[in-house]
């Protein structure tokens, strides 16, 4: 699972957003989601380390799975209009 949302980063068009890591913090009742931006799915399939950028988002709660984390990301302004990929 991933998200598809076109963006330009450093002059390169990219559209494949994949969760890189989920970190739950029970002390603060938050989950930090790290999302990697790849040029496209083929680039991600070729190498997990070939991403352009890594963004972090904090969500309230610690019971996130990858599936529910993607749903939460799609509800954020940063991923407005994103589609499942």
Predicted local distance difference test score (pLDDT) of residue 71: 96
Per DSSP, 82 falls in state -
Q: What is the pTM of this model?
A: 0.90
65-74 pLDDT tens trace? 999 999 999 9
Q: What is the mean pLDDT of the chain?
A: 95
Chain segment 9-29, per-residue pLDDT in tens: 999 999 999 999 999 999 999
Separation in Å, CA 25 to CA 34, 35, 58, 59: 14, 17, 10, 10
Q: Which residues contact 26 (CB under 8 A, 6 or more apart)?
A: 62
Q: What is the pLDDT of residues 44-56, one digit of tens each?
A: 999 988 999 999 9
- Interval 38-46 mean pLDDT: 96
């Amino acid at each position: 699972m991933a998200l598809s949302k076109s963006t330009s980063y450093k002059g390169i068009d990219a559209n494949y957003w994949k969760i890189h890591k989920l970190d739950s913090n029970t002390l603060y009742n938050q989950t930090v989601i790290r999302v990697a931006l790849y040029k496209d799915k083929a680039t991600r399939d070729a190498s997990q380390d070939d991403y352009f950028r890594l963004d972090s988002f904090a969500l309230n709660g610690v019971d996130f799975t990858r599936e529910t984390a993607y749903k939460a990301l799609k509800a954020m302004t940063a991923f407005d209009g994103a589609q499942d990929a």
